[in-house]
Structures are given as structure tokens and as C-alpha cells.
Amino acid sequence: MDKQTYARYLLTLIDEEVDSEEGVIEEDALFGYFQIFMPSGKGVEATFKLLDDGDLYLQRIVRIYEVLDPDDFGGETVPGYFNTKQKEVPEDVLIVYGWQFIKGLKQLLDEHAELDGVEEESVYLAGIEEVRLLPPGEIGTVRDSYDPGVYEALFEVIHEHKNYDEPIEILDEAYYSITCDYWISYYLQWHRYGLKGDPFAPYFELYMLGYSAIFSGQKLYIGAS
């Protein structure tokens, strides 16, 4: 099955009319795809029915529906993204997730140090001095001063291990649109890259608890929006 055949199948699942004679369907045509199955996720399993490794994708995607509150879908307006709500957890749990995330990313970058800019960012991660927790709402103040190097190095690694012609690639924008976060997207598709470990798992657990994490200076900041 090629990417276009899969794209047409997905569009029919969400009741979009597909002209067999129309041109190429691009990834952005499926932006917001997983939102169609809010809030319960009922029916999303059909998305991966035609894929040999569909169960692996399904095991991860169903968790994002756990963050949704059905009460948020009873009014005239409904959430457009999978935004999480802050949960009460001990601070040391968040700190541990932060250091696990740093360790996992460094191991990943060390294994691919030959790629452009990757070795430098592994050194940067080795120099992280602190995982700092921020009060609710302050994580946004750090975003403007985030360190782009780690993000670029991770993109380089993923890019080198992604098959852009496989069917699942048509859902690339759909995965990104879940919460407009490439790292969540990487986690949900991790097995497709054929890389070791599961370095984005701690980041995903922070997300599930209502937190995000940003590298800036020599620190990893964790906070709830």
C-alpha cells in the first residue's frame, strides 16, 4: 500500500469525499485528524487497521485521549488540541522525569554524533546543571529564550531515520497537530524510526501530568501552562 492509497482510506474514515482523479493528497490535509475522535478516541483504531505494525501505533495514540475531560465537550465550543490539565504530583517526581529525559536524549545524540551539529548538543546536555520547576503559568516566559540547538539536533537524527515514502508519513501533520509539539509527535511514532531506547517517554509522561519542558541556558525548565 502506498501513501496516497492510505491517505484516501483515512479521509473516507472521517467522511471526507475523495475524488479518485484528484491530485496528490498532502500531509497538511490531515492536520487535526486525531481530533475527529475526541473525546473518547472511539473509532481511532481503524486508522491503523491497514498497517502491519498498526498495533504499535495504536498502543501509543490511545493514551492521548486519556488527557481529555468529557465535560469540556458538552458546550458550543470544544478544545481544538489535546491540552492537558495540571495534576498534583510530588515535585521530586517531576525532577526525576526531567533528568531521565536529559539522560535519554544524550544517549540518543551520542549514538549519532556523526550527524551535523549533534555532537555539540550532546556536550550541551552533559553540561545541564539543574532541572528547575517553575510556578504555574511561568513556563511561557522561558520559551522566548529556549536553546534551539537540541531541537535542531533531534530533528537531524529523526530526519536521517525516517522513511518519507512509507504510508504512516501521510499522518505526520496529524501527529504534530495533536498539541503542536514535535517531541510528542516523535514519541507517538517512535518505533518507526528504528532507534534505540525510548528517550521521549519521560517528556510524554510530563505532558500527561500537565507539564512541559524547555531547555534554556544550562537548565531544563519544567512547568505547567
On the question of pLDDT at 20 being above 70, the answer is no
Split at pLDDT 50, 70, 90, the class of 6 is very high
Please report where in the chains the cell 526525576 appears, as a residue. Answer: 96
Higher pLDDT, 147 or 42: 42
On the question of pLDDT at 76 being above 90, the answer is no
Q: Do 223 and 136 contact (CB within 8 A), yes or no?
A: yes
On the question of pLDDT at 11 being above 70, the answer is yes
Residue-wise pLDDT for 151-164, tens only, equals 999 999 999 999 99
Task: Identify any residues that bridge with 219 across adjacent strands, giving them in sequence order.
Answer: 130, 216
Nearest-angstrom CA–CA distance, 117 and 7? 34
On the question of pLDDT at 87 being above 90, the answer is yes
Look over the chain and give the mean of its residue pLDDT values, rounded to a whole number.
94
Q: Provide the pLDDT for residue 21.
A: 59
On the question of pLDDT at 77 being above 70, the answer is yes
pTM across the whole model: 0.94
154: its cell numbers: 533531534
On the question of pLDDT at 18 being above 80, the answer is no
On the question of pLDDT at 194 being above 80, the answer is yes
The mean pLDDT value for 14-43 works out to 88
Q: What is Dmax (Cα atoms) for the chain? A: 57
Q: Provide the pLDDT for residue 75.
A: 86
